[in-house]
Amino acid sequence: MSRALLIVDVQNDFTEGGALAVEGGDAVASGVTAFLAAHAADYDVIVASRDWHDPEGDNGGHFADQPDFVDTWPVHCVAGTAGADYDPLLVTDAVTHHVRKGQGKPAYSMFEGVTDEGDTVGDVLAAAGVLSADVVGIATDHCVRASALDAVAHGVHVRILTDLIAGVAPDSSEAALAELAHAGAELVESGAE
């Protein structure tokens, strides 16, 4: 049975100092790096996603001057900028597939993105015969939630590694984790096997 690790949006604009900084983002980056150093060989596929928004336009209404922080957001993760880069504390040497999402449109789930070769995450997981996946990254209440729900919808057994995620707000993050558990995802710490 093939296993995957899905690393969601550990990018400069979502970690401390970024345009949409999430408290604990740097800790997630360094924690995922330490986890990979010890466990990369446990996975057949390691996918990392990045928001990769177009520099021109509002990306399908995703960017707004007066954002509501639900459907519209300040400018973030613009393609080719430092904000779109992986957080420097995240070492990506073990990543087998890099995915970019949100190119000209809103996209929360990594399953909405594509690799440089044009493959979706669903394609990558199916080709590798992945039946289970661990999910880590930022933000619990937005892109981690959407990516994990899509993984479940693709028939993958999902574990959320709760010590390797960070959310925008406590209440919405707690609600997201409850929703994920209800959908069948396991909530475990990274040390659990």
Domains and CATH numbers, the chain: 2-188 (3.40.50.850)
Q: Report whether pLDDT(192) > 80.
A: no
Catalytic residue numbers, as ranges = 9, 101, 143
Least confident range from 7-11, 23-27, 56-60: namely 56-60
Determine the Cα–Cα distance for residues 125 and 112; give it in Å rounded to an integer.
14
pLDDT of 110: 98
- Chain centroid offset of residue 12 CA: 13
Average pLDDT over residues 49-59: 95
pLDDT of 72: 93
pLDDT of 193: 61
With CA atoms as reference, report the closest residue to 169 among 12, 20, 2: 20
- Confirm whether pTM is higher than 0.95: yes
Q: Which amino acid is it at 83? A: G
